Amino acid sequence: MSKVFQATHVGKVRRNNEDSLIVIEPETFVVADGMGGASAGEVASSMLVDAVKNFLTNALAPWDETTLSEAIARANGDIWNLSRQNEDYRGMGTTATILYVDGDKAYFAHVGDSRLYLLRDGIIKQITEDHSYVESLVRRGELTEEEARVHPMKNVLTQAVGAMPEVQIDAASFPVRLNDVFLLCTDGLTNMVDDATIAHILQTSESPADALIDAALDGGGKDNVSVIVVGID
């Protein structure tokens, strides 16, 4: 069983909220951060959550990380096709981070720079790797984490769902323990709030999703912010 908290906020600067999030039975959690001109970002992220929900609803149990990857691949085709057909949607795309918890095992699939974190024994760990240009420089040792945080190209993604006919998807599984806390979030949280503050909120707040949104707004609220918190009990 799990305790689930979720929240999304447009932030203090933007006019539209291009993030989408959804909780799907059983125990499946999705965040998506859309990008593209006009309303295209909103279209891409909402298509992502709808396509994932439709795919999983029709997928035979047991689901695993391959099932989640196939759901993202299906969404990639839907979004890519629409962007080819409609000039207004040309170039749109979205991040996708999916977590599925099944008893003592968790599965995830991921594209882009939204994140999945695990808080275990008081230590917060980022499970997903950002598919961003600056993160690729950090991995090659050409930038430090600190330099990456303020880099002018930090928003440039190396992978996005729907931006190309094929998408590279990270997926894996790992064991779950009692009292683990998972956080799925868009970069509107992680660009405004550091990991230590996020960990503190997850450990102390009675309503952690709202508290994380408040922290992102206090930190500047420059982007849309979305969070899903899942406590395993």
Q: Does 130 bind Ca ion (CB under 5 A)?
A: no
One of 181, 214, 223, 229 touching Ca ion (CB under 5 A): 223
> Cα(31)–Cα(190) distance, rounded to whole angstroms?
14
What six digits make up the tokens of 143?
A: 């930038």
C-beta of 133: minimal distance to Ca ion in Å? Answer: 15
What six digits make up the tokens of 190?
A: 């992680």
The one segment of 9-17, 53-61, 168-176, 184-192 that binds Ca ion by CB under 5 A: 184-192
Please report how many Cα atoms fall inside a 13 Å half-sphere around the Cα of residue 49, on the Cβ side: 19
How does strand 19-24 pair with strand 28-35? Answer: antiparallel
Q: How far apart are the first and last CA of the chain?
A: 6
C-beta of 102: minimal distance to Ca ion in Å? Answer: 29
> Cα(27)–Cα(117) distance, rounded to whole angstroms?
16
| Of 101 and 216, CB closest to Ca ion | 216
Nearest 5°: the CA angle 48, 119, 193 is 70
C-beta of 120: minimal distance to Ca ion in Å? Answer: 26
C-beta of 205: minimal distance to Ca ion in Å? Answer: 22
| Of 93 and 188, CB closest to Ca ion | 188
Nearest Cα to Cα of residue 170 among 65, 21, 67: 65
The one segment of 6-14, 26-34, 169-177, 211-219 that binds Ca ion by CB under 5 A: 26-34
Please report how many Cα atoms fall inside a 13 Å half-sphere around the Cα of residue 26, on the Cβ side: 11
The one segment of 25-33, 51-59, 117-125, 174-182 that binds Ca ion by CB under 5 A: 25-33
The one segment of 132-140, 163-171, 181-189, 202-210 that binds Ca ion by CB under 5 A: 181-189
> Cα(171)–Cα(98) distance, rounded to whole angstroms?
9
The one segment of 1-9, 123-131, 169-177, 179-187 that binds Ca ion by CB under 5 A: 179-187
How does strand 170-175 pair with strand 123-126? Answer: unpaired
| Of 48 and 176, CB closest to Ca ion | 48
Q: Does 187 bind Ca ion (CB under 5 A)?
A: yes
One of 33, 42, 78, 214 touching Ca ion (CB under 5 A): 33
C-beta of 14: minimal distance to Ca ion in Å? Answer: 9
What six digits make up the tokens of 196?
A: 């230590």
| Of 20 and 186, CB closest to Ca ion | 186
C-beta of 203: minimal distance to Ca ion in Å? Answer: 25
> Cα(1)–Cα(233) distance, rounded to whole angstroms?
6
Binding-site size, Ca ion (CB under 5 A): 5
> Cα(67)–Cα(70) distance, rounded to whole angstroms?
5
- Applying CB under 5 A, the residues found at the interface with Ca ion are 33, 186-188, 223
